[in-house]
Amino acid sequence: MSELQIRILGVGSFFVIVFLSGLALNRSGMPYNSAVLTLHKLIALAVLIFLVVSAYRKHQAGSLEVLELAVVVVTVLFFVATIATGGALSTGKAMPEIGLRLHQITPFLTVAGTAVALYLLLWRMDEVLQAMK
């Protein structure tokens, strides 16, 4: 298994854990289990950091294209929206219905954006590296 495949599998696994822990939190109701909530938040943050570091490394290599940058920026905005709505939900205070709906939609947008961003950042970089060999 190549390094690229391991990275993609790792990010995919992290998203599965985030979704499963989110479902567990939703089903358990308030007050949320602090261990599950912490796991949910930290793994989501780790995936966000991985995405930003991947974009930064490609930028340092001098090959970050405008499309790649645009996809990364939009995906980071999806992450921020997901984290903000999740944080608001976890306070236990009454929240408008739109906040709950946003937190049900933005994670899927985040996963889709991350998949496209990682394809552009990692796969295309891997193709360039393979061509150089």
- For residue 132, the model assigns a pLDDT of 56
Report d(CA 109, CA 116) in Å as an integer.
Answer: 11
Residuewise pLDDT in 10s, the chain (133 residues) = 677 678 778 888 988 999 999 899 889 888 888 999 999 999 999 999 988 888 888 888 777 889 989 999 999 999 999 999 998 988 878 888 998 899 999 999 999 999 899 888 877 666 655 655 6
- Say if CB 89 and CB 103 are below 8 A apart: yes
Asked whether 63 and 125 are in contact (CB, 8 A), the reply is: yes
The reported pLDDT for the residue numbered 40 is: 92
Taken in order 54, 60, 66, 69, is the CA torsion positive or negative?
Answer: positive
Query: What are the residue ranges spanned by the domains of the chain?
Result: 3-132
- Global pTM reads 0.81
